[in-house]
Structure 1
Amino acid sequence: MANTYTQIHIQTVFAVQNRQSLILGQWKEELYKYITGIIQNYDHKVLQINGMPDHIHILFGMRPTQSLSDLMKFVKQDSSKWINQKGFVNRKFSWQAGYGAFSYSKSDVQNVINYIKNQEAHHKTKTFTEEYLQLLKDFEIDFDNRYIFHPIE
């Protein structure tokens, strides 16, 4: 697209099915590299990826050549398949339906990178649900509490 110039920074957040803590330290870096590859294959640029055993945050620069929903479908679908093929989990792995997506200006990018890098420290004081609800409130996103990433009981 000649003469098309964009600067789109998106943070996505998504959880393991049933909010189970299945992403283990011994393979999480390999997972992050795999997800980074998926995103880069669609010509977007990962700026930071990190998470906890039950969820992931990704900050990336997005090109306007693909919808966010299509990209997230491919990221979740392909990474689930990869995790299952690798046998990292002793049962079928899947991501919970849905995701959060939040856009940032260039001036906010470094703060978001630092926030994502420090997930482990951050979650010593705040649960994932608290964190996610705070993001939704900060971005003034209307939500239905029935569809927040709750564990299935």
Structure 2
Amino acid sequence: MSFRKPRKSSHSVFSVRLHFVFVTHYRRKVITTPMLERLREMIWQVSRKLDCEVLEFSGEADHIHILLDFHPKNSISAVAGCLKSSTARTMKKDFPEQIKKFYWGKVAFWSNSYYVASAGGAPIEKLKEYIKNQDSPKD
């Protein structure tokens, strides 16, 4: 990942990078190459609406990875929910025959859970050292 400047809003400067992983329900290997390309389009589209930026996207037959430049006006769970629900609807609508091979009835496309971790920036030990070494007020 190349260095990106922090973004600005009216009252903040921020640089929040999050790595999401969404796994298919029952970890079924349902995602094909055309599905992955459609997922890429949808992730970019939904992220833009949430003022987030996709830095990287990829996936395999049973999961996807998203590296997101996250806008702090959002909650992590809301972003994950929007991304998962919109992509699941699109997959079921655009690839019904492929989906029916793996899921019947109202079974969800994605697992109920997801993985998210902060990414990038200085290592924790460096941040702790920096904060600890700040000057004390001079009374």
Q: Give TM-score scaled by structure 2 length.
A: 0.71
1:99 aligns with 2:104: no
1:76 aligns with 2:78: no
Aligned-residue offset at 1:39: 1.1
Aligned-residue offset at 1:107: 6.4
Matches for 1:50-69 after TM superposition, within 5 Å: 50-69=58-77
> Of residues 30, 40, 56 in structure 2, which corresponds to 1:22?
30
Aligned-residue offset at 1:87: 2.5
Gaps of 5+ in 1: 109-153
Higher helix share: 1
Aligned-residue offset at 1:59: 0.2
Q: Distance in 2 between matches of 1:29 and 1:10?
A: 21
Partner of 2:135: none
Larger radius of gyration: 2
Aligned-residue offset at 1:26: 2.7
Q: Distance in 2 between matches of 1:103 and 1:79?
A: 22
Partner of 1:111: none
Q: Distance in 2 between matches of 1:29 and 1:107?
A: 32
Secondary structure of 2:40 counterpart: helix
Q: Distance in 1 between matches of 2:112 and 2:42?
A: 20
Aligned-residue offset at 1:14: 1.4
Secondary structure of 1:81 counterpart: helix
Name the % identity: 22
1:7 aligns with 2:15: yes
The answer on whether the counterparts of 2:55 and 2:69 sit within 8 Å (CA) in structure 1 is yes
Q: Distance in 1 between matches of 2:111 and 2:88?
A: 11
Higher strand share: 2
Mean Cα deviation higher: 7-16 or 83-92: 83-92
Gaps of 5+ in 2: 1-8, 124-139
Partner amino acid for 1:45? E
Deviating runs (4+, > 4 A) in structure 1? none
Cα RMSD after superposing both structures: 1.8
Q: Give TM-score scaled by structure 1 length.
A: 0.65
Secondary structure of 2:13 counterpart: coil
* Pair 1:2–1:90, CA change in 2 (3 A): closer
- Give the total of aligned pairs: 108
Secondary structure of 2:92 counterpart: helix
